[in-house]
Structure 1
Amino acid sequence: MTEAVMAKQIFFIAGTDTDAGKTFIASGLLAKAKQAQLSTLGLKPVAAGCSETDQGLRNDDAMKLMTQSTVQLSYEQVNPIALQPAIAPHIAAQRIRKPLSAERIVGLLRGVLMTNKAEFTLIEGAGGYRVPLNPRETLADCIKELRTPVVLVVGMKLGCLNHALLTVEAIKRDGLHIAGWVANQIDPAMSAYDENIETLRAMIPAPCLGVVPHIDNNTAEAAAEYLTLPSMEG
């Protein structure tokens, strides 16, 4: 195991779009880190599309991250902002008159990260990289404040090249380090799949951490077989 992997590492998981497979890939990376004998933690600070339970609102993505986390926190620490409607988070928050702000989210994350002992931590976004929090801020503003390296999940489907390259451009414009990207095949019938992968390899100035095919058994362990852990260096 390299010294870079041994060090405490924190990454933000961004997607090219909603349903790009952020949680699937994040869970796979957490599983990969566990296999490397690292302690792990997955966080989902903002989640829309939560279900009402006896314990309160719960989000499936956040629960999947908790399953792959060796550091056990309360649900409210993993997903402090849980919104019921499966719509854009800022709209869901407006409807319950609890507006979102980058300052609040950064404060919540810093509170967890300061006491977090995990060697490998992932912070999963909501939707795409620039999902709005309010009329002036996006979730990307939180990552800019935290200076967290980004792992980009590219949902492989028609149109993904444009989505991926625009997202890479936005991340670099924000002055953030792209630790790597993952191709996640969400459309099993995608035309010119291999050629699209090669185009992304040529045009994204960051290492490819894995090419994950469409998997019927979409478990974290299945994804982990195709993934390499990112590095903070670069």
Structure 2
Amino acid sequence: MKIYISGIHTDAGKTHCSAALCANFGFDYFKLIQAGEPTDSDFIRKLCPKTRIFKEGMLLKTPASPHLGRKKENLNYKAFDIALPKSEHLLIESAGGLFTPLDDEKTVIDYMARFKHPTFLVAKYYLGSINHILLSIEALKQRNIEILALVMMGEKDLLQDEFIQNYTKVKIVNLPFFTAQNLFAQSKIFKEEVEKILT
């Protein structure tokens, strides 16, 4: 199974979510586009030393939107030229949010719609996040991209979760942020909930 790890914006917690899935379910890991260092692959390597990590689809030095890095570094790649690794147990972590530009014309969600696989949509709690979450879910639904669950990062806000779940009918799974030392303890309930989704 190939699964996209997409986010409502940059820094939503996609790499933490990926690490929890790799550690608990043995997924391989692939970063679609990396912009800047340290890399998300480095983070996965540190927290999940047993994980098979593929080389990034595109590695940019510029810590900015990929379409800007592409221009600054004089790269001529096209978004749809980025090939997914040959793995049947793969997490594909996207860059930024769903509408982050990958080149001059295409965004993350365009890539996801072209090469269709289900997704875990990752978000976190902050003022305004409900709006960003609902817009992201609506965009995925319009493109018939299956949402396995909305992964909410951080300390659980029951009232926010209840509203989002009632409004969107999308399953919500909570995942606290963690370190290498407490990854399995912090992701125990997350693992139990995801097992129900993947089986």
Which stretch has the larger CA shift, 94-103 or 121-130?
A: 94-103
The match for 1:45 is 32
Q: Shift in Å at residue 28 of structure 1?
A: 0.6
In 1, the alpha carbon distance for the partners of 2:123 and 2:49 equals 23
The match for 2:176 is 213
In 2, the alpha carbon distance for the partners of 1:23 and 1:223 equals 15
Q: Shift in Å at residue 70 of structure 1?
A: 4.5
Contact 2:13 2:124 in 1 (8 A): yes
The aligned runs of 1:55-204 (5 Å cut-off) are 59=39, 61-66=40-45, 68=48, 70=50, 72-73=52-53, 77-105=54-82, 108-109=83-84, 112-113=85-86, 116=87, 120-185=89-154, 193-204=157-168
Cα RMSD, aligned residues only: 2.5
Q: Which contiguous aligned blocks of 4+ residues in structure 1 show a shift greater than 6 angstroms? A: none
Count of matched residue positions in the alignment of Structure 1 and Structure 2 = 195
Say which structure, 1 or 2, has more relative contact order (CA 8 Å, 6+ apart): 1
Which stretch has the larger CA shift, 215-224 or 87-96?
A: 215-224
| 1:229 and 2:194 are equivalent in the alignment | yes
Contact 1:41 1:66 in 2 (8 A): no
Contact 2:30 2:93 in 1 (8 A): yes
In 2, the alpha carbon distance for the partners of 1:130 and 1:152 equals 13
Contact 1:41 1:69 in 2 (8 A): no
In 2, the alpha carbon distance for the partners of 1:45 and 1:131 equals 12
Q: Which amino acid aligns with 2:68?
A: I
Q: Which amino acid aligns with 1:225?
A: K
- Which protein is bigger by CA-based radius of gyration? 1
Q: Shift in Å at residue 146 of structure 1?
A: 1.6
Unpaired segments ≥5 residues, structure 1 = 1-8, 35-39, 52-58
Which of 16, 36, 45 aligns to 2:8? It is: 16
Q: Deviations over 1:26-52 (max 9, x none)?
A: 111111214xxxxx201102010125x
TM-score (norm 1): 0.74
Q: Deviations over 1:119-159 (max 9, x none)?
A: x3210011001111233211222211221101101111111
TM-score (norm 2): 0.86
| 78 and 18 in structure 1: CA distance in 2 versus 1, 3 angstrom threshold | same
Q: What percent of counterpart residues are identical?
A: 24
